[in-house]
Structure 1
Amino acid sequence: MLKNGEIAPDFALHDARMQLIRLSDYQGQHHVVLYFFSRDHSPGGITEAVEFSDRAETFKSLGTVVLGVSLDDCLSHEAFQDEHGIEFGLLSDAEGEVSRLYHVLRETAAVGMVKYAIERSTFVIDRQGVIRHAFYHVLPKGHAAEILSLVKQLG
């Protein structure tokens, strides 16, 4: 598990519009809220995304970029954003590489098959690329408000 004070692992993933997004692109300029969720169109995924989206302008006014990551592909993310009016970037980690870097990918066995799923987690990363807050086992309802209050403390 990653801990507060560690350097956030850099990565490059495509967003819903097929733009390549690198964490390091924001270093020195913006704080980043990086949250991992199970999948588009799931009840928890909708709740969390809508709550972050409802606060997108406030995050932006605080110099903070919100990025959501799941194993879904870019086309799924695009449909999800359009359907729910999501106002921030959703990144596709279809191979699970970034999810592994952040220790949020969990292996589950069902009916003799191994599947991988993301454990809902959030990282608040400051402008220097340092993890200021790391949360694993996140509940979606009310989480965006909690994260916003922490970002306000970053200055």
Structure 2
Amino acid sequence: MSLLGQPAPDFTLPASTGETVTLSSYRGQKHVVLVFYPLDFSPVCSMQLPEYSGRQDDFADAGAVVLGINRDSIHAHKAWAAEYGIEVPLLADMTLAVARQYGVAIDERNISGRAVFLIDRGGVVRYEHIEATTGDYTVRPEVVLGKLKELR
């Protein structure tokens, strides 16, 4: 199931930053980079999310916001963000409902797969990449930044 060229499924989830984030609230204002990842404190995720967070100024310059999302709780997100210096909002999709909407839920393991979706200001999915396994991390921030430049 590809969402490419489709309106991004809307959602509202609690964030590690203390607010509630609604995807459609960015419509008309910012591009959104949704980064689905399996688990806080896991080795590959602990490389991936700090890399995206470290480039958030570059994403902001490109008119985008980065949102991390997985099934861990807000409490786990806050602890992980504090330990690894992650500044992007981490959203708690504890029932995997949003992961299912995006086709990345791995229900038998109760986690989401690793995936990146780029949603333009109009709310349309313009790029998607779902890793073959949860241990893969091939779409680095510079790849997504390149895709953002193509949207201009």
Using structure 2 for the length normalisation, give the TM-score: 0.92
Give distance in 2, aligned partners of 1:53 and 1:62. 14
- Tell me the CA shift for residue 142 of structure 1: 5.5
SS in 1 for 2:146: helix
**Equivalent of 1:146, from 115, 138, 143?**
143
Residues 51-103 of structure 1: CA distance to partner in whole angstroms, max 9, x if unpaired? 10121101011110000101000011111111111121110001111111111
Give distance in 1, aligned partners of 2:5 and 2:48. 25
Residues 127-147 of structure 1: CA distance to partner in whole angstroms, max 9, x if unpaired? 000000011116325522211
Q: How do 1:4-153 residues align onto structure 2 when only pairs under 5 Å count?
A: 4-108=4-108, 115-137=109-131, 139-140=136-137, 143-153=140-150
| Contact 1:48–1:141, Cα closer than 8 Å, also in 2 | no
| Contact 1:44–1:140, Cα closer than 8 Å, also in 2 | yes
Which one has a bigger Cα radius of gyration? 1
| Contact 1:47–1:140, Cα closer than 8 Å, also in 2 | no
Give distance in 2, aligned partners of 1:49 and 1:149. 18
- Tell me the CA shift for residue 107 of structure 1: 2.8
Structure 2 alignment gaps of length 5 or more: none
| Contact 1:47–1:141, Cα closer than 8 Å, also in 2 | no
Moved runs in structure 1, 4+ residues, more than 2 A?
138-142
Point out the structure with the larger strand share.
1
- Tell me the CA shift for residue 19 of structure 1: 1.1
Give distance in 2, aligned partners of 1:64 and 1:107. 30
Q: Which amino acid aligns with 1:77?
A: H
| Contact 1:70–1:93, Cα closer than 8 Å, also in 2 | yes
Percent sequence identity is: 36
SS in 2 for 1:43: coil
Q: Which amino acid aligns with 2:123?
A: G
Give distance in 1, aligned partners of 2:3 and 2:72. 26
Structure 1 alignment gaps of length 5 or more: 109-114
